[in-house]
Structure 1
């Protein structure tokens, strides 16, 4: 969990004599870094969630400060602290009103307080938090790999989480390029902000952890309730809406488990669901709703699946290629329509007699009568695997 503006304020409001002038409702936002700001042009270089401090030395220009806070809000910055008493004796009323209406945090600090000391204190706090988050992330990685019994790991996680409580894992994969890195990082910060607002509005006691793996993101919930379980996927999707619109967002949701030693089970199943999401092109998959695909997508060795499909359908595929027929498609329709020749004829726009002729040939080529579910099942699985491979 990243540092939020209200945390920084509560920890230092007396030391730096800070006063909230407007936008208190927006202070549950993440602060990614702190900058001294005297020129509005630098705002375009911000990456999002920056906190700015200014003396307002350019505020002699009419409307400068209002334009500055508007640009910062547009760039999704965390807020601004104004050092009053030299260039600005007080904050213009139009700025205060705008920030209040738009929930943009606006704080005031007296001139005699050192800006340098505040920036140093805030930046060190952010760095310390990042180091702690790194320690938490490493501990969670150990747990999901099955090494939960080591005392130091349990001690680290026990500082923040109820290790005897319930856990649930969400695996998020974003198909991104190097050019997408900034948008990806901003989406992660947005997720943390939305999560903070969500918890704050409902007074939710759920704890969470956000871990970056090599090529995907892991969100871990601790002691979540059914209502939260239903709402959270929409928050995740909202945070990564840019990638979702481009069909590059995939989410796998694992089942809830009791006790931290079972966290690895939820992780593995969430990862399996994420793989199915990627394989089918769907945005979101719940492991519990995967049915038979739980087995297929749990197999890490893709060559095993490909070999099975080749052994099962290879003879018929080779026949189609050699004789310019479409027996594979006919067999797929035959399985889908529960061996009904009439429905296969409708499905393939083919005369029933022609369908019957093809089915008899298929039986001869495969050396199988395809007379019941048990005989059809291996071919159905092979078609599942073919679809998985094609979509992946």
Structure 2
């Protein structure tokens, strides 16, 4: 669902005399569907992001409108269209003021215009927007799979994403507190909230679901605009329902649509790094050694490196119920400082010295600079593989 109220109502002012009375700042609200509501008590069947029409039939006067609008906003409706006529002859000033102050779009529609005509057009546009999302996802998947690009190119041209330009891709995922990916179909309001900052983009933005993530394709995105977008999304993240955690991976800019497959992989890798580091977002250029490791698409290469490097220590721990693997990790993370390693482990430094002596014997190493680099790299591989499995790294090994 990615059509805004502004997009939905374009050209409606001329054709249907639909007039915006207040709440212009809320025209970026997303619209899920259109509903007729005549009961002053907002019904429970509103799920949020509906554009509501009302004629006021069955009501006396227009004094009830203010409470009605307040309840619509609480229900997270996208906006209200009031059919001006025999039941509501004008919009009271307090209603206009409230809508203006609260970014709640309020429209009027002449009685001569049949609601069924305009609602029919709006519903078709909403359905078309949903179908466009599906078409975009299918076209993008064809590009990733290296299939015939001619049909895909036509889809992207119509979407305002020409071949020329620098493109940045963002992968946005919703996860639970254990780092498990949540199905987008079940995200509901959380998903709608995430769409909104993307819909306000200055440059053409295409957002569609792909592989249980949202993919945002942005053209000519500057560093400052990216920073502002991430700030807006972080504000949304803070308002998500309990149990929903948003994480984002951002690719490096790439020239033209031919760079999309690589940018897609980069954004996915950056998203995994954000999860590993328990960060809100990660940009591919800031991923360090992980940008190299994720570029190795054969996992067997990584598994073999890990096995050759840390396998003997992993086996020793398993057979002798020791914690040498964790000790080595802590030692390396503290830059070889026995004192810092002892403090973090809450043991005496002599204990660490004895453990490190045993570790060197098991691994047949003097822990030269090159050795330390290899062991750190192996631990990074373990982190990466564990994140791919969405489990926590432990001394039992990631593979």
The TM-score, its normalising length taken from structure 1, stands at 0.86
Contact 1:167 1:259 in 2 (8 A): yes
Distance 2:3 2:83 in 1: 22
Aligned to 1:320: 317
Shift, 1:256, TM fit: 0.5
CA 67–350 in structure 1, closer or farther in 2 if over 3 Å, else same: closer
2:213 maps to 1:210: no
The CA deviation at 1:311 is 4.1
What is the Cα deviation at residue 355 of structure 1?
Answer: 3.8
- Is 1:266 matched with 2:263? yes
- CA RMSD in angstroms comes to 3.0
Partner of 1:142: 142
Alignment of 1:92-131 (within 5 A): 92-131=92-131
CA–CA separation in structure 1 for the residues paired with 2:118 and 2:228: 38
Question: How far apart are residue 101 of structure 1 and its match?
Answer: 2.7
Deviation at 1:276, TM superposition (A): 1.9
2:363 to 366, 373, 383: 366
1:185 to 177, 184, 188: 188
3-state secondary structure, aligned to 1:281: coil
Aligned residues: 384
- Which aligned pairs between 1:268-283 and structure 2 lie closer than 5 A? 268-283=265-280
Q: Matched residues in 2 for 1:88 and 1:351: separation?
A: 81
Paired residue for 2:154?
Answer: 155
Single out whichever of 27-36 and 134-143 deviates more from structure 2: 134-143
When residues 237 and 244 of structure 1 are mapped into structure 2, their CA distance, relative to the original with a 3 A threshold, is: farther
Q: Which 10-residue stretch deviates more, 73-82 or 15-24?
A: 15-24
Shift in Å, 1:218: 0.9
Shift of 1:74: 1.6
Change (3 A) 1:345 1:183: closer
Tell me, in whole angstroms, the C-alpha distance in 2 between the residues paired with 1:92 and 1:378.
72
Quote the offset at 1:262 in angstroms: 0.8
- Residue correspondence of structure 1 range 286-301 to structure 2 within 5 A: 286-300=283-297
Cα 1:58/1:306, change in 2 over 3 Å = farther
Give the conservation status (yes or no) of the 8 Å contact 2:143–2:149. Answer: no
Cα gap change, 1:71 to 1:374, in 2 (>3 Å): same
Q: In structure 2, what is the Cα distance between the partners aligned to 1:178 and 1:40?
A: 40
Report the secondary structure of 1:234's partner residue: helix
Bigger shift: residues 180-189 or 355-364: 180-189
Deviation by residue 1:264-288 (Cα, 9 ceiling, x = unmatched) = 1111111011122223332211111
The residue number in structure 1 matching 2:378 is: 382
- Give the equivalent residue in structure 1 for 2:6: 6
- How far apart are residue 119 of structure 1 and its match? 1.2
Q: Normalized per residue, which structure has more helix?
A: 1
> Structure 1: which 5+ runs fail to align?
none
Gap runs ≥5 in structure 2: 394-399
1:45 match:
45
Deviations 1:161-180 (A, max 9, x none): 23211100111111269998
Corresponding residue for residue 195 of structure 1: 198
Q: How does 1:305-344 map to 2 (within 5 A)?
A: 305-306=302-303, 308-344=305-341
Q: How many Å separate the matches in 1 of 2:250 and 2:350? A: 47
Q: In 2, are the aligned partners of 1:275 and 1:297 still within 8 Å (CA)? A: no
Q: Deviations over 1:321-366 (max 9, x none)?
A: 4444433333234433444545545554555554444333222222
Evaluate the alpha carbon distance shift between residue 55 and residue 244 of structure 1 in structure 2; reply closer, same or farther with a 3 A threshold.
closer
TM superposition shift of 1:88: 1.9
Provide the C-alpha distance between the structure 2 equivalents of 1:95 and 1:180, rounded to a whole number of angstroms.
39
SS of corresponding position for 2:358: helix
Q: Secondary structure at the match of 2:294?
A: helix
Q: What TM-score, normalized by structure 2, do the two folds share?
A: 0.84
Looking at structure 1, the residues matched to 319 and 161 of structure 2 have their Cα atoms a distance apart, in angstroms, of 62
Deviation of 1:104 (Å): 1.7
